[in-house]
Amino acid sequence: MTQIRRRAALGAALATPFLGTAAFGQEWPARPVRLIVSFAAGGAADTAARAYGAVLAEILGQSVVIENRTGGNALIAASATLQSPADGYTLLVDAANQLTNPILMRDLPFNYATAFIPVSQLVIFPQVVAVKTPFPARTIAEFLDQARRNPGSISYGTPPTAGMGHLAGELLQQRAGIRLLHSPYRGGADAARDLASGTLDAAIITTSSVRPPVEGGQARVLAMTGLQRSASYPDAPTLAEAGLPGFDMNDWNGLFVPAGVPRPILQRMEAAVMEAARRPGVFQRLAPLGTEVVAQGEAAFRAFLARQGQVVAEVIRAAKITIS
Please say whether the beta carbons of 188 and 209 come within 8 A: yes
- Counting beta carbons within 10 angstroms of the beta carbon of residue 227, is it exposed (0 to 12), middle (13 to 18) or buried (19 or more)? middle
Domains belonging to the chain, first-starting first, are 12-125+251-319 (3.40.190.150), 127-224 (3.40.190.10)
Q: Which stretches of 227-266 are assigned E, i.e. beta strand?
A: 251-258
| pLDDT reported for residue 316 | 97
Give DSSP secondary structure letters for 72-88: GGGHHHHHHHHTS-SSS
- pTM over the 0.75 mark: yes
User: CB neighbours of 264 closer than 8 A, spacing ≥ 6?
Assistant: 19, 20, 21, 22, 24, 25, 26, 28
| pLDDT reported for residue 1 | 35
Please say whether the beta carbons of 159 and 190 come within 8 A: yes
| pLDDT reported for residue 26 | 64
| pLDDT reported for residue 206 | 95
Whole-angstrom CA distances from 310 to 35, 100, 115, 247 are 28, 10, 19, 13
Written as one letter, the residue type at 295 is A
All residue ranges of the chain with pLDDT < 70 are: 1-26
Please say whether the beta carbons of 14 and 244 come within 8 A: no
- Counting beta carbons within 10 angstroms of the beta carbon of residue 38, is it exposed (0 to 12), middle (13 to 18) or buried (19 or more)? buried
| pLDDT reported for residue 13 | 36
> Does residue 93 sit in helix, strand or coil?
strand
| pLDDT reported for residue 182 | 98
| pLDDT reported for residue 136 | 97
Paired residues of 252 in beta bridges: 124
| pLDDT reported for residue 183 | 97
Order of strands across the sheet that contains 202-206: 181-184, 155-158, 202-206, 127-132, 219-224
| pLDDT reported for residue 289 | 84
| pLDDT reported for residue 21 | 40
For Cα atoms 122, 50, 264, give the angle at the middle one, nearest 5 degrees: 55
Question: How far apart, in Å, do the first and last CA atoms of the chain sit?
Answer: 40
**Count of CB atoms situated within 10 Å of the CB of 136:** 9
**Count of CB atoms situated within 10 Å of the CB of 224:** 28
